[in-house]
Structure 1
Amino acid sequence: MVEGPGGHAVKENIEQQNRTANWPFNWLFRGKTGQSTRKTVTFGDAAEVSGALRWTIASLIVILAMWFISTKVWGLPQAWYDYADEVRAGLSADESYGQRDLLRDCDRAAGNPEEFPGLPACSYEQWLSESVLPSPGQVWDATWDFARNGYSGFTLWQHLWLSFSRLAKGLFWGVAIGVPIGLAMGLSSRWRGIFDPIVELLRPIPPLALIPLFIVWFGIGEEGKVNLLLFAAVWIMIIAARSGVLAVNTTKVHAAYSLGASKAQVLRHVILPNALPEIFTGLRVAIGVCWGTLVAAELLGSSAGLGFTIFKARQFFLLDLMLSAVILISILGVSMDVAMRMAEKRLIPWRGKG
């Protein structure tokens, strides 16, 4: 018990803290160690901002639930599914594959009674039809079939590997060319004057607009695809490296020179470490842009790859397969971004700490 003039207020404050600590959902607001943070200032402190796994999982659950609810068929009788299964069982594999979308759509099949004699009466309520967005179950079935049987003569893993290898090559050369040019532009007025018109003229051009030219210049082989991805990544890396150099605090540079450091030592120990956060941010942005450009890159005479799968499935209106390939691209992109975050924490632990 606290005695004195302010004893009653202090006691109430302690009781309020105890009640707050016993809230059933207090764990949602605690830090990584399970204890509330004791920092006085958190807003604006980059070291205090990190991903919360529980909120990420909750967000994904909400997205999947909304997807399921909006695409679920409400009120479709079981007789319809039984009839569709019987019809599919009597068809060959190719015929069944071709009739699948028709059998799934109650209204379209009901409009052709001569084609489906004995069709049971069907009525249903559905927010989004399959012609707009397949359900999660249909996309899962398409992904499972893709993994077991492949598509267009290639297995799923071959499609994944070809797409990933193309992206990795284009991204590698984009970083290898873009980072030195960006550093040079940030460190030298002469080099900035030389490269600035080139960067500012070519950077706004979307890679999709150059597909015909890349076909003429590099053909329809792997070289054209890799160069298109390089074009998408190099300007991002140039801007990121240049911004990283310009963001270096000049007092650190002056301090290094006052201690007798040479230009090479200043570049290695001061400029590069302080520019790395911007370079890593540019690399993460370039990964996302390259995945988006990959679909267009695989239009250049490709016979395999996730982008090729999307475009070929579009020709046959296989929306579930298209969405399956899109989700695979998204998963690969997120995996690469998570790997970059982990590398960033390991290589530049000083980020956000001044």
Structure 2
Amino acid sequence: MRKKITIVCSSVTGKGGTETVIKKILYSKKLAKEYTFRLFLPFGIQNFGWIKSAPNLEGIISLPFQDYGNLVSKVVRLSLSLLLYIFAGEQIFIISNSRQIMLAETIKKLFHKKYVVVSWMHFSIYGVPTIEPRFVEMADKHLVISEGIKRQLIIDKVKEQNIFTIYNPINKTSDRVYRSKKGIAEFIYVGRIQFDKYKNMRFLIKGLAKLKVVWHLRIIGSGPEEDLEAIKSYAKELGIIDNIDFLGWSDNPWEQLEEVDALILTSKSEGFGMVLAEAISRGIPCVSSDCPVGPKDIIKPGVNGELFELGEVNDFVYKVTKVLESNYNDVEKIVASLEKYYDEKYEERFTNAIDKF
């Protein structure tokens, strides 16, 4: 008999890295043989299209989409969550929200429930306002998407035998993106538009302004209008606005790319760094901040990109220049550097972990 699993996560838009991973799970034929899945979305969902026809999804419990909401929405969210855990028939809850972990564990103890509570955090458990580390530690088991999160849990006295590193799955593709031959360094940024928050695009603009080469940046992504305007205003202030094209959101950003010299990520914090892996899987070298907690698992300096010290603009300029001047033309070597992350390996890691719960 297949195990019943409910995945619980915070507000989802359908566009982020977490959604990409959930989609992989819900469409996996191999995982469908072992498990049935439901989604509990206490903060709602903006777009159902990305999971509408998922064959492994047996049901969705969702409130209207919200960020954190007013008092009424908080009370409704709490009530629905308590009822779910009290009357749960699931064997396993995989939860990416720290307060939901606390609620599930509290109900489990009060009502003597038999389900297993599993944390599945997609960001550093430190430094993120919506994550409470002491609640994460309450989980019975922990699926982690990076070695950095595993180290954080061990430091917090979580037993290593209860931590299972499964990373995130990457689709193996035959698409390839080669280096530019135009004499202009072609850079891309793919992801959420955030000026000062986690994506730290103020630093991206500041760093590029200090480069001594001719360059062009394509920004693919969406975000709050005020962040977009702040980026444009800052780029104008530094005299580089004409070097940048803002292309907006794309469901498949990679199909519009032919020649790219590097993908650049200047985040203050990541969980895994899905966009790095997606770029590398196509042969694009990456330059990323060495932020908590995922890029270090993905970037292999000298092979598929470079890491720079978070907040150090001179190191950023040095590492970007190094990628441009070093031999990053062997796209197959870059692609091969991610071998352990591709889909079939992920399914094995996921199944091996769940079978130990």
TM normalised by structure 1 equals 0.23
Of structures 1 and 2, the one with the larger relative CO (CA 8 A, separation 6+) is 1
The structure with the largest strand share of the pair is: 2
The structure that has the greater radius of gyration is 1
The structure with the largest helix share of the pair is: 1
